[in-house]
Homo-oligomer: A and B are copies of this chain.
Amino acid sequence: MPNPTAAMLVIGDEILSGRTRDSNTNHLAKSLTAAGIDLKEARVVGDEKATIIAAVQALAKAYDNVFTSGGIGPTHDDITADCIAAAFGRSIDVREDARAILAAHYDKAGTELNAARLRMARIPDGAALIDNPVSAAPGFTLDNVHVMAGVPAVFEAMVASILPTLTGGDPLISDTLRVERGEGDLAGPLGVVAERYPLLSLGSYPFQKDGIYGANLVVRGQDAGMVEAAMADLRASFA
């Protein structure tokens, strides 16, 4: 059976302007690979309602799981929760369970749960909350879309909260052979081995550093024995 699939949707003008470097996609990619869920696509879109809704609908339809990051804070540009509700035709309002989590958190901190902070308790109808052990304000899952914060520490904590609840497949196994030859010399033999193992993915990632150049040849697949056999073939090709 093929592994479940996933897409990542990063939401935020600050990524597209270059001000902020997205690290959440790489964290999610590694986590999903280990869990046996295949990340098939990642997208970054800005803080525009129509764009976010269209992306959520397209990705939710195409993949088993969608993970979003960004846009669930207290400020006026945090519009993700409303967009997710709109994408699924659900109503959205401050929800009592989310409000109670925020009230307990801010009460302990001696901070007022004002109107802005209360925005973070706006949860689409029918969504399940995602625990946020870092800063309390919850994420949520609606249908197959998991909505999480953009701040990396919070995003990573939410991924850890949600991943064990998802159905995974066989983890992707990968092995690497480093060969110090030009990629143009590796390509022929590598292609021969790749054709021999149609169920595996063989990739070549060139490097050049301090005058030494070559490529990392990476074999990926779900069958450990097959990965090992392909690695042996590669080692023999470049002995």
Contact = CB atoms under 8 A, between A and B. Distances in A.
Interface of A: 12-23, 25-33, 38-47, 51, 73-77, 106, 111, 114-117, 119, 151, 153, 172, 174, 182-188, 190-191, 194-195, 201-206, 208, 218, 220
A44 B41 contact: yes
Given A114-B185, A116-B184, A206-B151, A18 B33 contact: yes
B76 A187 contact: yes
28 contacts: A13-B220, A15-B25, A15-B42, A16-B40, A17-B172, A17-B174, A17-B220, A18-B26, A18-B29, A19-B205, A19-B218, A20-B205, A40-B45, A41-B45, A41-B46, A41-B51, A42-B44, A74-B187, A75-B183, A75-B191, A76-B187, A76-B202, A111-B182, A114-B185, A116-B183, A116-B185, A116-B188, A119-B187
Contacts of A186: 75, 116
A29 B43 CA distance: 14
**In the complex this chain forms, how many copies of it are found?**
2
Contacts of A206: 73, 151
Contacts of A33: 17-18
